[in-house]
Amino acid sequence: MTTHASDRRRLLPWAIAVVVLLLVAVAMQVTDAVNWAPGDFLAAALIMALGLGVWEIAQRLTPHRGRRALAAAAIWLVVIWIWAELAVGVVTTLGS
């Protein structure tokens, strides 16, 4: 069974998300500066999965390449904002 290049490109962001979580887990073993609880991993995985899910839907529903790029940028800005809010509370007091 062969995979098309488009299938591999679709899987790349998901693989990057997994690598990010693995890097955090490895960093926790190497330094005390990274201290995530299991809930932190769950929150990060959920944020990334929701962002990637919305991104995939936008990619499939938007035929115009420029609009797909704009949708991707908007989605990632929201994901980064939510992550920052939960991490340090940039605008609200949600962060630690």
Q: Residue ranges of the domains in the chain?
A: 5-88
* Contact present, 47 and 79 (Cβ < 8 Å): yes
* Paired tokens of 24: 């955090």
Q: How far apart are CA 18 and CA 14, in angstroms?
A: 6
Q: Which two tokens stand for residue 37?
A: 């609880």
**Mean pLDDT calculated for residue range 35-47:** 93
pLDDT at 45: 96
Which residue reads 């500066």 in tokens? Answer: 33
Q: For 9-23, what is each residue's pLDDT tens digit?
A: 788 999 999 999 999
- pTM for this structure? 0.80
Task: Return the pLDDT at 72.
Answer: 92
- Where in 50-92 does DSSP place strands (E)? none
